[in-house]
Amino acid sequence: MTNEPIRDEPSLFDALHEDENAVVRALRAGARAESSDEEGTTALYLATVLDRPGAVRLLLAAGADPDRASGPEAGDLPLCGAACGGHTEVVRALLSAGARPDLREEFGFTALRWAVGLGHAPTVEALLAGGADPLLPGPEGEPMLVLAARRGSARTVRALLAHGAGAIPGQADVVARALAEALRLAALDPERELLGRLEEAYGPGLDAVVRREGRDGEETVTVELLRDGVPSAGADQHTGHAEIAALLHGLTPGAPPTAPG
């Protein structure tokens, strides 16, 4: 049975931490592409979260099911694992092998929900090109366009709009909500906003460090709380809220002026 936990073929899992040649050797030695370890983690899922596109393609070619759930409760999907990490090439490989883009994993998350919420714009673009539905809400009913506006990734918002988000009847309220979020956050200091969220969750008084970096052509701000000089918690967001507000303003009749600056 291909779905039984593997106890005598550890070489495949070891190989995934090495290189593609090691994966080929393990498969040729008889390791099953559908192998899972004692905790229920599948070889394919491990390859996706490790961002090993070559190994993912090898496993898929050897018969691994791109939609097979992984983990102790079988709640983790390979496409969601790849999307969560922003592993765009892996996402493309899974979609090419027939992974269903809108399949929900445990707690109702889809791959697009992960990618939009974390601001992985190239992954969002790949998922939409692969058939992901931009109008499918998240597990709490959150529209993807509103989530993208909150995140502050203008590139993600553009991708969603290009694939029909906000462009069909009944979406005017969603566009207005997304615009309101973009305007609200454009008026705030992102560092203070992120620090406030962290202090609300972990309490005030901890030291914090702030980083600003370019990622996928957009700026990202990260705030980390330090405990004894070691990062203990963090939060990040993009800084494209003003640009998003300008993008959405023309789609919202009677909208208020866009954020200054």
Do the domain assignments include residue 176?
no
pTM (2 d.p.): 0.90
Do the domain assignments include residue 57?
yes
The model's pLDDT over 137-175, given as tens digits with 9 standing for 90+, comes to 999 999 999 999 999 999 999 999 999 997 766 678 999
Question: Alpha-carbon distance 150 to 174, whole Å?
Answer: 12
Residue 100, Cβ density class (10 Å: 0-12 exposed, 13-18 middle, ≥19 buried) = middle
Residues 134 and 112: beta-carbon distance below 8 Å = yes
Reduced to 3 states, what is the DSSP secondary structure of residue 189? coil
Do the domain assignments include residue 210?
no
The model's pLDDT over 38-86, given as tens digits with 9 standing for 90+, comes to 899 999 999 999 999 999 999 999 999 999 999 988 899 999 999 999 9
> What's the farthest any 2 CA atoms get from each other in the chain?
66
Do the domain assignments include residue 255?
no
Question: Alpha-carbon distance 225 to 207, whole Å?
Answer: 6
Give me the CATH number covering residue 48.
Answer: 1.25.40.20
Do the domain assignments include residue 164?
no
Number of structural domains in the chain = 1
Question: Alpha-carbon distance 86 to 89, whole Å?
Answer: 9
As given in the structure block, the two tokens for residue 73 are 């409760």
User: Residue 9: which domain range?
Assistant: 1-133
The model's pLDDT over 223-258, given as tens digits with 9 standing for 90+, comes to 999 988 899 999 999 999 999 999 998 876 555 555
The model's pLDDT over 78-97, given as tens digits with 9 standing for 90+, comes to 999 999 999 999 999 999 99
Phi then psi for 94, rounded to 5 degrees? -65, -45
Angle 133-139-142 (CA atoms, 0-180°, nearest 5)? 70
Do the domain assignments include residue 124?
yes
